[in-house]
A and B are shown apart, each in its own frame.
Chain A
C-alpha cells in the first residue's frame, strides 16, 4: 500500500511487473535503470539464479521528483515468472499499488499468458484484493519478433485484456513502449491515490 505523509510531504508507491516466465519483466526494469538519470534512481537489486532467471524479485527505486509539493518515489518490482515460484510471487505482490502485466506476444505463449493472468487474480485475492480494484496496465512485449511468430496487439487485447485497461505494444529490449507503460501505470496509481485521499 502506498505511503503518503502529509507532514514530510512524501509519497511512496509500489508497482509490480507481473507476467509469465521470460516475458520481459526484468528487461523492462533494466531499460528504465539505464535511461533514468543516476540522481533519480537507486541501485537495482536482483535476486536471481545463476542463469539470471529471477528467483525472488528485481527491485528498482526511482524518484519522480516533486509533484504538488510531494517528494514522490516509485518502487518497481518484478516477480519470478516461472510457475513453481508462486509462493515468492505472492509475497512480492503484498502491498502493491499497481500492476504492469507483461505479456509475451509469441502465439505459442498465449496459454502461459492466460495462466499468469489467472494466477495474478488468485494471488491478489489471497491478499484480499479484487483485481478489478487494482490499477493495471498491459504491455504486449516482443512485438519486434517476426510477424509469423507473434499475435498483434489487437489479438492480444482480445485474448487477455478483459477489463480494457490501457495496453501498449512493446519491444522492451530496445525500449519501445517501456516508458509509455510506466507512465500509464504511474498515472493510474497516483490518480487513484489522489482520488482516495480526497474521498
Chain B
C-alpha cells in the first residue's frame, strides 16, 4: 500500500506518520474536504466520500464549539470494536489541514496515534510552502471541457 499526495510537501510527513503510528488509512484534506494526500485507499472517488464525511464531522464539531463560545475541539476519537478513527486539524502556511486516521486496535492505539500526530503536525508546518505559484492552464481548456462533459453525459 503506498501513500499518494496531491500536494508533494505533505508526502514525507504522511509516510512517517503511517510508519510510526501503524495506522491503516490516513487522509490529509482541506476543511472543505479536498484531499491533499492519502494512504490506504484504493479508489480516488472513494477517498472523496471519506474526505467529505471527515470534513463534515470537523465542521459540525467546530460549529458546536463556536456556539459554546470555546476554541475548536483539538481532536476527536471514535473507538469501535476493531478500529478507531482519529480526527484533528492543524494550521499551516497553506491553510488549515484536517487529518483523518483509521487504526486497528490490535496493532495501534489512540495514544500512539496522538503522539505521532503531533510529530506529523510539526513536520507539516515546517514543510508547507508559503506561496503557490500560478500556472496557466492550456489554451484549449474550454474546448476539451465541453467535449469531456458531452462524453460523460452521453450527449
Residues of chain A touching chain B, judged by Cβ–Cβ distance below 8 Å, are 1-3, 5-8, 10, 12, 14, 35-36, 40-43, 45, 47, 56-57, 59, 61-70, 72-73, 75, 77, 87-88, 91-92, 94-96, 179, 182-183, 186-187, 190-191, 193-194, 196-199
Contact = CB atoms under 8 A, between A and B. Distances in A.
Interface stretch (B69-77, B100-108, B115-123, B144-152): B144-152
Contacts of B148: 64-67, 72
B90 interface: no
A8 B43 CA distance: 16
Interface in B1-58: 5-8, 30-36, 43-46, 48-49, 52-53, 56
B78 interface: no
B63 interface: yes
A193 to B, nearest CB: 8
Contacts of A64: 145, 148-149, 152
A67 B152 CA distance: 12
A61 B48 CA distance: 7
Contacts of B46: 42-43
A141 to B, nearest CB: 18
B49 A190 contact: no
Nearest to A40: B152
Given A68-B140, A95-B32, A197-B137, 12 more contacts: A1-B34, A3-B34, A43-B45, A45-B49, A63-B45, A64-B148, A70-B137, A75-B33, A75-B48, A187-B149, A190-B145, A194-B141
A194 B134 CA distance: 11
B154 interface: yes
Contact of A179 (B137, B140, B155): B155
Contact of A69 (B6, B44, B138): B138
A95 B34 contact: yes
A194 B142 contact: yes
A75 B136 contact: no
Contacts of B5: 8
B141 A68 contact: yes
A186 B153 CA distance: 12
A187 B146 contact: yes
Q: With a 10 A CB-CB cut-off, give which of B46, B49, B52, B140 has the most chain A CB atoms.
A: B52
A198 to B, nearest CB: 5
B59 interface: yes
A14 B34 contact: yes
26 contacts: A1-B34, A2-B34, A3-B30, A6-B135, A35-B153, A40-B152, A42-B45, A42-B48, A43-B49, A61-B52, A64-B152, A66-B144, A68-B137, A68-B141, A68-B145, A69-B138, A73-B45, A73-B48, A75-B48, A179-B153, A187-B142, A190-B141, A190-B142, A191-B142, A194-B137, A196-B134
B42 to A, nearest CB: 12
Contacts of B59: 91, 94
A67 B141 contact: yes
B131 interface: no
B81 interface: no
